[in-house]
Structure 1
Amino acid sequence: MSRSPSVWSNPVHFLAFGLGSGLAPKAPGTFGTLAAVPFYLLLQYLPMWNYLLVLVVSMILGIWICDRTSKDLGVHDHPGIVWDEFVGYWITMIAAPAGWLWVVIGFVLFRIFDIIKPWPIRVLDKKVKGGFGIMIDDVIAGVFALVCMQVLAVFPG
């Protein structure tokens, strides 16, 4: 808690830190993605348009909460800010096949792209600042993982 005590008292920081999951002492991005899974398990039952609406609202809200939290903490893209991982994982899971295997595959694919940051993710991560900068690399990582998920679903072997 010493890394960012405002997480527990400021609702904007609480959201940006993934309901506290970003306070994990090691691999906060991985813990943030894990915290996104139960929400996906609820969201997956929404009609596609509603799922996409929640996703768009979460992205727009994420730009604001990540920007505000980053400014309040005085650190661009503080490691504990994991709302972007929530959104990136939910993007990965758009139209995912049902079942725990796909939940895990989506998790692994998203984490790989988020950690490795292939082009253009790495460039965006370094060059784009503010809340949009915090969000965009995970959004693109989610899109890359989404494409891989859909290819695996269509061509499983």
Structure 2
Amino acid sequence: MTTLPDKRFLLSHPAHFLALGFGSGLAPKGPGTFGTLAAIPLFGLLLWLPESSHLVTIAALFLLGIPLCGIAGRNLGVSDHGSIVWDEIVAFMLVLEFTPKAWEWWLGAFLLFRLFDIWKPFPIRTLDRRVHGGFGVMLDDLLAAVYAIAILKGWQWWMMQNF
């Protein structure tokens, strides 16, 4: 049975609150986009920590996301329900870690990440269909982040060579 997420569901369990991105996953249109935007202030908090701890923190958030998304998905009755956006939050934080700290680059990073998260090029779509549960929810966004980072790094290299 599928449960429709609402404020009551959001607040009924700490895993729901986090998996639904502090409520950003309740957006009626584009919850993944709102979840991605929710990553920005969290990344701002991460910037207060020593840079050497950033990847460790993001990895810990990824690992935390596996049970969080699993619990929320089971309770919603859909493993990768659209309202579950912890995966977008953590993956976009990873993208921002490798993105120059300028709004133009962050906008490009946002657009690239959303493109790959929605498009799901090979092997993302295949894995999305085959890997389920909390790990599957987290994995496809991690791969979308890798694609976005690769394009951003290529773009940076090209800019350095040509300007």
Is TM more than 0.5 here? yes
- Which of 21, 25, 28 is the equivalent residue of 1:22? 25
- Structure with greater Cα Rg: 2
Offset at residue 142 of structure 1 (A):
0.4
- Identity level (%): 46
**1:123 and 2:126 matched:** yes
Query: 1:45 Cα deviation (Å)?
Result: 4.7
Q: Kindly tell me: are residues 154 and 108 of structure 1, through their superposed partners in 2, closer, same or farther at Cα, counting changes over 3 Å?
A: same
Checking the alignment, whether the CA contact within 8 Å between 2:5 and 2:76 is kept in structure 1 is no
Distance in 2 (CA, whole Å) between partners of 1:48 and 1:122 is 32
Q: Secondary structure at the match of 2:5?
A: coil
| 1:22 maps to amino acid | G
Q: Look up the match of 1:3.
A: 5
Q: TM-score, normalised by structure 2?
A: 0.90
Query: For 1:105 and 1:64, how far apart are their aligned partners in 2?
Result: 31
Does residue 53 of structure 2 align to residue 50 of structure 1?
yes
The residue number in structure 1 matching 2:116 is: 113
Q: How many residues align?
A: 156
Unaligned runs of 5+ in 1: none
SS state at 1:63 partner: helix
Bigger drift between 86-95 and 118-127 goes to 86-95
Output the CA distance in 1 between the equivalents of 2:51 and 2:145. Answer: 17
CA RMSD of aligned residues (A): 1.4
Q: Flag as ranges the 4+ runs of structure 1 deviating above 6 A.
A: none
Output the TM-score relative to the length of structure 1: 0.93
Deviation per CA, 1:45-83, whole angstroms, max 9, x where unpaired? 543321101111000000110001111222111110000
Contact 1:8 1:20 in 2 (8 A): no
Query: Unpaired runs of 5+ in structure 2?
Result: none
